[in-house]
């Protein structure tokens, strides 16, 4: 492991959507910290570039081409990683699809639903395959890559598919966190912030976004390494932002079960949905 930090030595991470962009950087950063990597994507040529980068650093990696929404493909991907490395300690559900931005009334319903399928069914299938073995070992981390539009209603009015799918993912994170609480598995959402990627460049307001709004992709990748270190397990079930000071956030949410979780605003203490 020459040149690699040892914090993740002996541990295995599976990253979906690892061929480029955020997923590639997450995989490379985990490898730099000693993790062995399982990389999944439907773009084999670009996935090989990620793998070659990791191997040049001295890291161990297995790549699998597959569709994250296909149960047989998901099983094949996980089987291949477990065959090579025996287990999966960290699952990063990064693969996502934003669809074609536009007003809902003009959106192709099949494209709209593909966004939902990729962003919700994909993570669900990987969690369904990986989490039981994590629970059996009483150790594991699930990191779901999310976005601000899942929890805030202040983005352009052209994000209905992305917003709905990522809000569903946030609720899935919360529900799974409740099921795994106290059982050794930590489940988290993380928003990488505004990152310059091919997906972001498709936004209709891209040219109007100030440079100060963007974050380097390395910021969220380093946050993920910290989140799976064991130091921040008290954030289980929460929505993390790449700009967060994790120590400060851990202190702020302690004792507040509604902090950084997706929930409806209430009208007061007697509100029946409160």
**Tens digit of each residue's pLDDT (9 = 90 or more) over 87-130:** 999 999 999 998 888 888 888 999 999 999 999 999 999 999 99
Closest to 98 in 3D by CA, of 81, 85, 117, 80: 117
Domain boundaries, the chain: 12-253
Distance separating alpha carbons of residues 131 and 152, to the nearest angstrom: 29
In this structure, are strands 61-65 and 239-241 parallel, antiparallel, or unpaired? unpaired
Q: Give Cβ neighbours of residue 19 (< 8 Å, ≥ 6 apart).
A: 39, 41, 42, 43, 46, 47, 49, 50
**C-alpha distances in Å from residue 165, one per residue of 91, 137, 146, 249:** 19, 30, 10, 25
Q: Give Cβ neighbours of residue 114 (< 8 Å, ≥ 6 apart).
A: 97, 99
**Measured in Å, how far apart are the chain's first and last C-alpha atoms?**
51
Q: Domain 12-253, what fold?
A: Rossmann fold (3.40.50)
- pLDDT tens-digit readout, 153-175: 766 667 899 999 999 999 999 99
Cα 49 to chain centroid, rounded: 21
Which residues of the chain carry a pLDDT beneath 50?
1-2
């Amino acid at each position: 492991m020459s040149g690699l930090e040892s914090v993740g030595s002996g541990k295995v991470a599976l990253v979906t959507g690892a061929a480029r962009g955020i997923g590639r950087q997450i995989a490379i950063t985990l490898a730099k910290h000693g993790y062995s990597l399982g990389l999944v994507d439907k773009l084999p040529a670009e996935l090989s570039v990620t793998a070659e980068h990791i191997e040049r650093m001295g890291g161990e990696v297995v790549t699998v081409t597959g569709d994250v929404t296909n149960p047989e493909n998901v099983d094949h991907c996980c089987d291949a990683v477990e065959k090579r490395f025996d287990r999966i300690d960290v699952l990063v559900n990064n693969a996502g699809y934003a669809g074609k931005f536009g007003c809902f009334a003009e959106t192709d319903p099949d494209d709209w639903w593909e966004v939902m399928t990729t962003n919700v069914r994909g993570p669900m299938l990987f969690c369904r395959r990986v989490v039981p073995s994590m629970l059996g070992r009483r150790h594991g981390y699930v990191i779901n890559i999310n976005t601000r539009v899942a929890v805030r209603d202040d983005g352009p009015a052209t994000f209905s598919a992305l917003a709905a799918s990522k809000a569903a993912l946030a609720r899935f994170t919360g529900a799974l966190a409740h099921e795994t609480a106290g059982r050794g598995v930590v489940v988290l959402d993380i928003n990488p912030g505004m990152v310059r990627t091919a997906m972001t460049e498709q936004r209709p307001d891209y040219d109007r976004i100030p440079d100060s709004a963007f974050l380097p992709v390395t910021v969220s990748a380093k946050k993920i390494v910290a989140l799976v270190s064991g130091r921040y397990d008290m954030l289980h079930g929460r929505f993390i932002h790449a700009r967060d000071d994790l120590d400060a956030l851990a202190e702020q949410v302690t004792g507040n079960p509604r902090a950084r979780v997706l929930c409806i605003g209430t009208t007061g203490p007697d509100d029946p949905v409160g």
